[in-house]
């Protein structure tokens, strides 16, 4: 699976966990559906494509402010839960995040 595909899956899972707990979305409420579509379109148009190291570092810089606030909240909420329900996916994500932090990116 490509990095982009992996990121898409991760972001979909995170938004799903968030919406399900916060908004009782089945699977997603309207707002979260929009956020999800936005996130996917950012991934599709990412200039780094599969070359880039890690999307979250990139997300927060290429999202427009309101979407950026939302996705940050989703990540904060779903990050720990992802570890619980999807440990393999979460560990991959954390691993990528550490690489970026080491490289000096600010999240």
The site for Zn ion (CB under 5 A) is made up of 19, 23, 25, 29, 32
Cβ of residue 22: shortest distance to Zn ion, in angstroms?
A: 6
Residue 7 CB contacts under 8 Å (≥ 6 apart), including other chains: 43, 55
Helix and strand tally (H, E) in the chain?
Answer: 5, 0
Nearer to Zn ion, 32 or 55 (CB): 32
Cβ of residue 23: shortest distance to Zn ion, in angstroms?
A: 3
Nearer to Zn ion, 36 or 42 (CB): 36
Nearer to Zn ion, 31 or 52 (CB): 31
Q: Is the peptide bond before 27 cis (omega within 30 degrees of 0)?
A: yes
CB-CB neighbours of 100 under 10 Å:
18
Cβ of residue 3: shortest distance to Zn ion, in angstroms?
A: 26
């Amino acid at each position: 699976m490509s990095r982009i595909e992996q990121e898409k899956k991760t972001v979909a899972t995170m938004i799903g966990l968030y919406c399900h707990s916060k908004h009782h979305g089945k699977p997603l409420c309207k707002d979260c559906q929009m956020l999800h579509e936005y996130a996917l379109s950012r991934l599709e148009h990412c200039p780094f494509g599969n070359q880039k190291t890690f999307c979250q570092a990139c997300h927060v810089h290429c999202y427009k402010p309101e979407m950026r606030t939302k996705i940050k909240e989703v990540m904060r909420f779903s990050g720990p839960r992802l570890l619980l329900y999807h440990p393999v996916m979460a560990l991959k994500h954390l691993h990528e995040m550490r690489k970026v932090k080491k490289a000096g990116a600010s999240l």
